[in-house]
Structures are given as structure tokens and as C-alpha cells.
Amino acid sequence: MFDAATGRPALFLDRLGAVIALLIGVALFAAPFVTYRANRIVSGEGRMMWDSVPIAMAFGLMALSVAVALVGTLVRHRFLRLAAAVVGLVAIFPAVGYAALFVTPPDNTFARVSPGTGFWLLVFAFALLCGDSLSRMRLGPWMRLAALGLAVAAVTLLLTSGAWNGLSLLKEYANRADSFWVEARQHVLLAVGSLAAAVVVGLPIGMLCHRVPSVRGAILQVLNIIQTVPSIALFGILMVPLGLLAANVPLAAALGIRGIGAAPAFIALFLYALLPVVANTVVGLDQVPATVVDAARGMGMSKRQRLFGVELPLAFPIILTGIRIVLVQNLGLATIAALIGGGGFGTFIFQGVGQTAMDLVLLGAIPTVALSFAAAVILDAVIDMTKGARA
């Protein structure tokens, strides 16, 4: 049996597939599929897959998982590998929702059921096979965006269908639905707002470093030092001057600037974002071919015209790479803002840690990871589009 695309045997021993098969084996036979708790804060009791769903469903899921493991290990065909991974994901997500209803005693409103280690290992294994198959297909930017859109649509359908309503994660969300979207808005505002401010300030600084090499080393060194300061320490450093500013300047207090809250979090994220923006602007402008700049000069273009009409457009993909780094970084760092009253998804994470309620932790952690992943995919696609347009 041969792969028509490559002419090589369609069956082979794939190393990544072997790792995926190992993960699936551990998930099925050594890790609980769900965790049952009598209430939201007590220790949980793991339930294996065959104790979490009806036995016929358990055997079906196990057989399907083993089949996916065999495809990932032995089959080279990219579309077959992708199809196997997608089928596995489509089967496992509704199954864990059904397991929550199956193991919860009737009329028991206090019990909590969470996805167990086995479920997360299966999701990771199937997603790893899916990602590997997509990377081997070398999809263009529009196809990657379409794949992301399909994934978002599938997750939205799962959540709105009620299939997961029995899981404690959705029960935590139901109890905090209004505050969840308030914190989501605050999280995005902190991450995106600080990025926008860093771009407005960082691009001119990067242009200055490119034009005046004598100041480049000093500016980049200062930004490097800021980058090495731990986030908690930087928040603490900013609390004192901002608190004094709010106490002595009524306008600052009226604008919401205080020693705690969103202001120090926003400024800290802004400072962390400056180095990638400035450094990538310098690198991008440095890599513009000198012959192109000379040709523009020979056409009679002024320095300003050359900068905005030639150099910046050619440097834009590299500058956009820095913006991508900053956005993903800020979406993660914004969770720390909750420690100083800045809001965001970190609010749920630290509340969950304080209450030993891990599902509340996941309510903040999962959206943060999802936003970071989506931002990375979207900006990677945009970067590829700009490179294609430049070529």
C-alpha cells in the first residue's frame, strides 16, 4: 500500500505516533476518565472509563481510541491520520459530558464531576495527531484560519448543546456567568490595550534605534533589564508611585489610576511589550536590502517617503512577528493582574486556588490558553499573508 502523494509506503512506524499510542494506552488503562467529588471542594475519586459510562459505550470508546493509536503509529497518509484524530476528538468530548450524568446520583445537586487525567491525555494525544497531520499538509494561511474557525464552531456547538452541563466546569460557569464575561472583557482590554500602546510607542523608538545606532545599545539594554524583572515584583514596584500619584493628583484618581487595580497591571504589560516591538522593528528595518533603499533614493524619494513607502512595508512581517509574540505573552501575563485587583481570568484562577476548587481554576485557565492559541494561529496566518504579498 503506497501513499499516492509521496510514492512511499503508506504503512510505516511513526515515532510521534508511537508516543501518541503510549499516551492513549496510559489514558485508557492507567488513568481515571473522570473525577467524582461529593461536593466542589472535597478530594475527588477517580473513575476509570469502564466505570464512567455504560459498558458498551466504554468498549466502543476504547476500541476507537486503539484504532486511532494504530493509525497514528502505522499509517502515513496525512488525511487518514487527520480523520482519525478528528473522529477521536468528536467522540471523546460528548462522552465525558455523558459520564458526568452517568456517575452522578439522581437528584444530587452537590456532587461534582470533572474530566480526569485519562480524558485530558486522550484529548492531548488526539490533538497532537491532528496538529501533526495539519503541519504535514502545509496548509496555507486561509486554510489554517478555516481550520481554526471550524474548531471554534465545534467547541461552541458543544457548549451550547448542553452536552457538558453536568460537568462541574460548566456548573462553575453557570454560577458566575455575568462576572465571567466582565472578567473576559477586562482580560482582553489589558492584553490588547497594552499591546496597542506598546506599538504606538515602540515603533518610533525602533525607528530611532535604526536611524541612530549610537543610542540602540542603551535603549535595548534598558528594555532587556525591564524584561528580566519578575511580573509580581514589577507590579509591586509600580504600586508605590501610582498610589502617590493618585493621592496627589485628583485627575489621576478620577481616571482610575491607583496603586492597585488595572493601572499598574496595564503599565507593567506595556513595559514588557516594548522589547519585542522595538527589537523586531530594528531587525526588520536592518534587513531591508540596501539596493532597494538606494533605488528609492535614486527615484528622488525623501527619507520620510523611503521610510513609510519602502522600508516599513518590507519590514512589516518581522514587526508583525514581534506583535504576535507580545500578544501571546500579554494574554498569559494578564492573569497575574488579578493579584493586585486588575481583574481578568486570573480572578477565577486565584479564587480557585484559595478555595481548592480546581474547576474554578480551569474556568480561568482554559479561556486564557484558548485565546493565546487562537491569537498565535491568526497572527501566524497574517504574517504568512504579508510575506506572500511582499514576494
Query: Phi-psi bin for 7: left (phi > 0), alpha (psi -120 to 50), beta?
Result: left
The rounded distance, in Å, linking the Cα atoms of 151 and 169 is 20
Angle separating helix axes 15-29 and 117-137, nearest 10 degrees: 160
Closest of 338, 23, 59 to residue 183, by C-alpha = 338
DSSP state of 255: T
Burial of 227 (0-12, 13-18, 19+ CB in 10 A): middle
DSSP state of 44: P
Closest of 270, 281, 368 to residue 326, by C-alpha = 270
Question: Which runs of E-coded beta strand occur in the chain?
Answer: 34-37, 45-47, 112-115
Residue 105, SS3 per DSSP: coil
- Is 319 in contact with 203 (CB distance < 8 Å)? yes
Closest of 101, 123, 109, 127 to residue 31, by C-alpha = 123
Contacts of 129 (CB under 8 A, 6+ apart): 16, 17, 20, 68, 72, 81, 82, 84, 85, 88
Closest of 75, 72, 91 to residue 24, by C-alpha = 72
The rounded distance, in Å, linking the Cα atoms of 271 and 116 is 39
In the chain, what are the domain boundaries? 15-138, 177-390
- Is 12 in contact with 70 (CB distance < 8 Å)? no
Domain covering 177-390: architecture = Orthogonal Bundle (1.10)
Cα-atom radius of gyration of the chain, to the nearest Å?
Answer: 25
The pair phi, psi for residue 116, each rounded to 5°, is -90, 180
Q: What is the pLDDT along the chain (391 residues), one digit of tens a residue?
A: 555 555 555 556 778 889 999 999 999 999 999 999 887 777 788 899 999 999 999 999 999 999 999 999 988 888 999 999 999 999 999 999 999 989 988 877 788 899 999 999 999 999 999 989 988 888 888 998 999 999 999 999 999 998 898 898 898 898 888 899 999 999 999 999 999 999 999 999 999 998 888 888 899 999 998 888 887 788 778 777 777 776 677 766 666 676 677 788 888 899 999 999 999 999 998 888 888 878 888 887 878 888 888 888 888 889 999 999 999 999 998 998 888 888 889 999 998 888 877 888 999 999 999 999 999 999 999 888 887 655 5
Contacts of 217 (CB under 8 A, 6+ apart): none
